[in-house]
Amino acid sequence: MQRRLVQVLAAQGVPQREICRVLDISGKTLRKRCRRELNVGAAKLEAALIGHLLRLAAGDDDVALRAIIYLLRCRFGWSRYAPPPCG
């Protein structure tokens, strides 16, 4: 099995069913034999996406504001539905 290929494809966001098709194996076999590569690939993809989002947030336009709000909600648990802090 080509573990490096699995990691690279996972890092590019290729769905597992497509990776299985490329390697001609079942999903169960992929997850059993390449769990680490799938996890590392997913972590690399997440890191790359967060990096792009942080670059967007560094701007000074409407896109930057939306990126900052998104980051605060997703990464830090902020919510427009949460009650305001007591003070």
Mean pLDDT of 37-55: 91
Q: Where are the domains of the chain?
A: 3-76
State pTM to two decimals.
0.73
What distance in Å separates the CA atoms of residue 45 and residue 10, rounded to the nearest whole number? Answer: 8
Mean pLDDT of 47-61: 87
pLDDT band at 10 (very low <50, low <70, confident <90, very high): very high
